Amino acid sequence: MKAIHWILMLFSIIVCAACLVAINKAGQERVGLPDYYRELDTSLPFNDLARKSLDLRISNAEYDEIRWQYFEDRVAPRFSVFQEAAAWEDFKGKTERPDSPGRQKTLRDYIGLFESVFGVCVLYIFFNILRWIWLRVLVPAKKIVQENGIYGLIRLILFGKKALSSKGGETGC
């Protein structure tokens, strides 16, 4: 491979590692329940509470913590343990908020970007490995089979290049 391919492969490996670290950190990111949660009027439906009492600029992680606590306090007791996961997904879907320009961004907000970049880098590495296998293994093997037959390829695998050169066939490897 040319030097540029090796540089791009190394860069892709570094980017993959950085994305894995970022995804891991975003998964572990825990904001904690804000102090002012206990002062909120939780008798209101959550969307009304969010619209009237919450600052629009709070981070998504903090919003999710408040939403989770509200769900645990007010909504979850109405469901059985078996229905709680489905109820949470339904509640989460109904209480998503639109993105606003003044909101604080956290690492968790960029997790989709990290996953996409990671996927692209892994594909780049995978296809370069396949390309290397094609150029270094399959093309020479095809040439050996054309020149020496399938038995030439078997002799090469079992005994190395000397087995072919003793017959007089040129392998080009």
At 114-155, the pLDDT tens digits run: 778 888 888 888 888 888 888 887 888 788 778 878 777 777
- Identify the domain containing residue 25 by its residue range: 3-115
Q: Three-state SS for 129?
A: helix
For residues 89 and 140, what is the distance between their CA atoms, to the nearest angstrom?
A: 55
Kindly state whether residue 165 falls inside one of the protein's structural domains. no
Kindly state whether residue 155 falls inside one of the protein's structural domains. no
Task: State the chain's mean pLDDT as an integer.
Answer: 77
Q: Quote the pLDDT of residue 134.
A: 83
Q: Please count the structural domains in the chain.
A: 1
Cα diameter, the chain: 90
CB neighbour list of residue 154: distance below 8 Å, 6 or more residues apart: none
Kindly state whether residue 124 falls inside one of the protein's structural domains. no
Q: Is the pLDDT of residue 107 over 80?
A: no
Kindly state whether residue 138 falls inside one of the protein's structural domains. no
